[in-house]
């Protein structure tokens, strides 16, 4: 493709006037699409499938070739005889009659079988056409044998053509006595018509400019073309029968993505093209397709080809360079929340690019509400693959402020992730204090109320889970409500995990090991739209003491949200997650 485009560019830039680019090289449709998009000059791709198949059809129908006419359209190697006529009459009935003749059927099994299924005869040979659809060679030796598909036929044909050419060349150079006669190829016919003005009709592969109206504009289509002194003029077909258009589109998607990879140098489009190929997708999983593409690209690049395709990020379809960034993040380094004002933080900057990064990061902090020794602008100098850590402390002037730190780089390669710490609430729970009540509303997953006081926790929810199935063997694969508690005032406070397990007729409250939580109760009512659940967990079982600060998180999982399929989870937290690292904090802190 690359070399053909170079030829086209030379023609465009150096030819005397209005050159016509004739191309005989495969893959025809991809090559012509690239030539059309890059070179901007008249071009036509030439193949002999139509001429050869038209003669075969005349033979199958026992008709003299000079008495038949036909109309063909589609894409190269997936074009169909929309009309096949004998002296102006529809001769397709003779082809369907031949379909039932074992001798005739045996000579062209794949194409006759596809005519049976699609209603139209395809231009390309049975051997080659079977590579454009997923119903034959991909199903193993039994089907290959049943349809008589010669897997290595094209290799044999290529060897024969090369041998014939070498012999012809030798005889031409020796005595110049080689006879030359007109062939079925269109090249000389086009030249003759353009030079003499004598009109002719050929089948050419050209850019689709509304010639076939139910195929994408700009793809390469094979249609009848008038040729005269004005050049090659494609004719209008209109809509293909829908089943034929669908067959063409399944291959056009591959062609478009391959050309896109060539034009943009984006490695990911190679994977996309192979994924969409009906041949490959019928045989290989996504992982196998990815590995195959990587192996082929690497092999070509070792031989000096495909230099424009950069290495990909492992297990992705994106080039490593397109994903490489200098990433800046902030994490909270507190081990407990006894201090409600000062927050030790850590800025980590990692250079994931292949170039040295030397620039500045701007930290956007509201210094009217917070103080910190970290400067507003921080110089960064990092070699490729290196990281650097900057510890700092932010102190709130008032405990009820939301802390937000924005990170901005000085170029597009810098990805800064803002740090947000929700405002802290100073409240008293339990003895001589007030309870906490949180209400969910307007949430598509769950609505309800959470009440926490000195006695414990009361949870009342309506959950839109239409497949209420708890999984005691794998908690994260079924319906469940997980609650996490941890002491906020102790550096060594271990989290307590409690799981409410909903079933359609009952609910239970358990520890992760499956033991019932002492003093806890739960009841459920399920219907077709979801379930209502109430659960009570004593304060002692949750591990918090009335009058002391604690951390809390609730995580809700559903099997099917409303009429949708697939598992969904959602978390509400009034603390850093006790069970895993997080950068979001809110403190439940007693007063006095």
CA 446 to chain centre: 31
Query: What is residue 495's three-state secondary structure?
Result: coil
User: What confidence score (pLDDT) does residue 584 get?
Assistant: 34
Q: Is 438 helix (H, G, I), strand (E, B) or coil?
A: strand
* Closest to 424 measured CA to CA, from 390, 400, 388: 400
Residue 536 forms beta bridges with which residues? 458, 521
Angle between helix 92-99 and 49-60 (nearest 10): 70
**Contact indicator for 495, 484 with CB cutoff of 8 Å:** yes
What residues form DSSP beta bridges with 442?
A: none
In the 8-state DSSP scheme, what is residue 429?
-
SS3 assignment for 231-247: EEEECCCECCCHHHHHH
pLDDT at 400: 67
Distances (CA, A) of 376 to 363, 391, 394: 5, 14, 13
Alpha carbons 415 and 490: distance in angstroms, whole number? 35
H helix runs in 355-401, sequence order: none
Which residues sit opposite 416 in a β-bridge?
A: 328
Residue 2 CB partners (closer than 8 Å, separation 6+): 262
Residue 100 tokens read as 């039932």
Spatial contact of 263 and 257, defined as CB atoms under 8 Å apart: no
Tokens at 215, concatenated? 């195929």
**Secondary structure of residue 404 in the 3-state scheme:** strand
Looking at residue 429, its pLDDT comes to 63
- CA–CA gap between residue 319 and residue 268 (Å, rounded): 7
Per-residue confidence in pLDDT tens, the chain, 592 aa? 889 999 999 999 988 788 999 999 999 999 999 999 999 899 999 999 999 999 999 999 999 999 999 999 999 999 999 999 999 999 999 999 998 888 888 888 899 999 999 999 999 888 888 888 888 888 788 888 888 888 777 788 788 889 988 988 888 888 766 677 777 889 999 999 999 999 999 999 999 999 999 999 999 999 999 999 999 999 999 999 999 999 999 999 999 999 999 999 888 899 999 999 988 888 899 999 999 999 999 999 999 988 888 877 777 777 777 788 999 999 888 655 545 568 899 999 999 988 999 999 999 999 998 999 999 999 999 999 999 999 999 998 876 678 899 999 988 889 999 998 766 554 556 656 667 777 777 778 888 888 888 888 899 999 988 888 877 776 667 888 888 877 655 545 567 888 898 888 889 998 888 889 999 999 999 998 899 999 999 988 887 777 776 677 788 888 888 766 667 887 776 555 555 433 333 334 443 3
Alpha carbon of residue 128 to chain centroid = 28
**DSSP-H helix ranges across 100-150:** 102-107, 109-118, 126-129, 141-146
* 463 phi-psi bin (left φ>0, alpha ψ -120 to 50, beta other): beta
Which residues, listed in sequence order, are joined to residue 573 by a DSSP beta bridge? 553
Global model pTM greater than 0.85: no
Please tell me the predicted confidence (pLDDT) of residue 476: 62
Phi-psi region of 487 (alpha: psi -120 to 50; beta: other; left: phi over 0): beta
Q: Residues with catalytic annotation?
A: 48
Q: What is the pLDDT of residue 493?
A: 53
Which of 505, 486, 480 lies closest to 555, judged by CA?
480
pLDDT recorded at residue 156: 82
Gap between the Cα atoms of 79 and 224, Å rounded: 11
* Helical segments of 133-235, H only: 141-146, 153-175, 187-196
Q: Is 300 helix (H, G, I), strand (E, B) or coil?
A: helix
């Amino acid at each position: 493709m690359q070399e053909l485009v170079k030829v086209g560019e030379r023609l465009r830039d150096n030819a005397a006037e209005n050159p016509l680019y004739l191309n005989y090289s495969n893959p025809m449709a991809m090559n012509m699409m690239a030539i059309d998009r890059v070179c901007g000059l008249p071009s036509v791709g030439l193949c002999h499938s139509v001429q050869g198949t038209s003669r075969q059809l005349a033979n199958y129908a026992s008709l003299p070739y000079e008495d038949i006419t036909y109309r063909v359209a589609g894409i190269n190697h997936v074009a169909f005889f929309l009309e096949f006529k004998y002296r102006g009459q529809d001769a397709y009935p003779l082809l369907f009659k031949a379909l039932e003749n074992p001798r005739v059927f045996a000579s062209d099994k794949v194409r006759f079988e596809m005519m049976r299924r699609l209603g139209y005869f395809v231009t390309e040979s049975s051997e080659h056409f079977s590579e454009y659809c997923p119903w034959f060679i991909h199903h193993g030796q039994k089907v290959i044998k049943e349809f008589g598909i010669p897997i290595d036929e094209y290799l044999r044909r290529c060897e024969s053509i090369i041998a014939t050419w070498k012999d012809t060349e030798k005889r031409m150079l020796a005595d110049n006595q080689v006879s030359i006669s007109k062939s079925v190829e269109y090249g000389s016919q086009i030249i003759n018509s353009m030079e003499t003005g004598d009109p002719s009709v050929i089948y050419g592969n050209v850019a689709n400019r509304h010639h076939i109206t139910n195929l994408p504009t700009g793809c390469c289509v094979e249609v009848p073309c008038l040729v005269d002194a004005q050049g090659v003029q494609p004719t209008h077909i209109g809509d293909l029968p829908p089943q034929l258009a669908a067959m063409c589109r399944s291959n056009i998607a591959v062609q478009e993505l391959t050309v896109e990879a060539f034009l943009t140098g984006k490695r990911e489009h190679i994977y996309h093209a192979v994924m969409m190929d009906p041949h490959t997708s019928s045989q290989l999983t996504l992982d196998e397709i990815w590995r195959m593409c990587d192996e082929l690209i690497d092999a070509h690049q070792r031989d000096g080809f495909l230099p424009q395709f950069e290495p990909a990020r492992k297990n992705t379809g994106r080039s490593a360079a397109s994903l490489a960034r200098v990433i800046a993040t902030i994490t909270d380094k507190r081990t407990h929340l006894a201090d409600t004002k000062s927050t030790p933080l850590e800025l980590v900057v990692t250079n994931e690019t292949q170039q040295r990064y030397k620039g500045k990061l701007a930290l956007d902090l509201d210094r009217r509400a917070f103080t910190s020794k970290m400067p507003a602008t921080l110089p960064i100098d990092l070699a490729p693959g290196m990281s650097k850590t900057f510890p700092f402390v932010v102190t709130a002037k008032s405990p009820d402020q939301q802390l937000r730190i924005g990170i901005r780089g000085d170029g597009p390669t810098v990805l800064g992730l803002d740090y947000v710490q929700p405002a802290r609430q100073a409240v008293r729970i339990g003895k001589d204090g007030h309870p906490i009540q949180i209400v969910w509303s307007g949430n598509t997953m769950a609505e309800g109320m959470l009440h926490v006081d000195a006695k414990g926790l009361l949870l009342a929810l309506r959950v839109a889970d239409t497949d209420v199935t708890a999984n005691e063997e794998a908690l994260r694969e079924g319906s469940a409500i997980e609650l996490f508690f941890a002491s906020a005032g102790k550096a060594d406070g271990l989290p307590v995990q409690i799981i409410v397990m909903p079933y359609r007729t009952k609910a239970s409250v358990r520890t992760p090991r499956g033991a019932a939580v002492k003093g806890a109760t739960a009841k459920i009512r399920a219907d077709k739209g979801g379930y209502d659940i109430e659960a009570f967990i004593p304060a002692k079982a949750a591990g918090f003491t009335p009058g002391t600060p604690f951390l809390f998180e609730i995580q809700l999982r559903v099997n099917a949200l409303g009429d949708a399929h697939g598992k969904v989870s959602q978390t509400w937290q009034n603390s850093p997650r006790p069970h895993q690292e997080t950068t979001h904090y809110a403190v439940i802190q007693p007063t006095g």
